[in-house]
Structure 1
Amino acid sequence: MEQGDSNAPILLGRPFLATSQTKIDIQKGTVSMEFGDKSVDFGIYDDVEPSEHTKLVSVIDVCKALIQEIHEHTNNQEVDTNRQEHLEEKNKDLVQETSNGGPNAL
C-alpha cells in the first residue's frame, strides 16, 4: 500500500484502543487517548456541524451528478428523436416510390 493511498484502512480496532489507553466517557462526551507521556482529549459533540467548505463541495458534487444525469437523458432522447425522424423520412420515401410506380412498387 502506498503512503498517499486515500483508501487506506484506519486501524482503530480494540488492539489500537487498548494500546493507546483510550477512555470513552459517554456521559461527559469525551474520548481520551494516551501515547507515552502525551494525552489527547476529543470532545464527541464538538464541531459536529460540517464546515462551509464541506457543504460547498457536497453541493458541487450533487450538481455535477444532476448535470451528468440530465446530459445522458437528453442525449438519449436526441438519439431516439433523430432515429424516429430518419425512419419517418425513409417511410415517406418508400411511400412516394411506391405511389410513383418505382422499383419498390407492389
Structure 2
Amino acid sequence: MVTDEVEKLLKRTLLKRCQLNLLQKLEQDISLDERERLLLQLEWLEALGDRQKGLLTADQKLLLFSTQEYQKCKQTKTDQEIYENIGVSRRSFYLWKRQKGLLTRKKAK
C-alpha cells in the first residue's frame, strides 16, 4: 500500500524529471516560438510544484485555473465567489479574464 508521503514523493520526482527535461530542451538551439512555449510549460510545472508545497502566488493560482474550470464554475457561482474561492484579488481575476478573452460588456441602458 502506498502512503500519502510516498505518493507525494513520486509526484515530486516526476515533476522534477519533467522540469529537467524542459530545461534540457531549452538549452538546445530552438526557435523563439518553441522557447516561449517551453517556458510557459516550465512556469506551469513550477506552479504545480508550489501548489504541492502550499506556496502559490496569485499569478500561479490563475495560471493553474483554466478557462474550462471558469466556464464550469460560472454556471453556479458569481465572479466574486470564484475569485474568493481561488484566493486572488478582484483586480488579478479581472486581468486574467481580460487576458483569456472572457470579459463580457454590459449594454448601457
Q: Which has the higher helix share?
A: 2
TM-score of the pair, normalised by structure 1: 0.26
Higher relative contact order (CA 8 A, sep 6+): 2
TM-score of the pair, normalised by structure 2: 0.25
Q: Which has the higher strand share?
A: 1
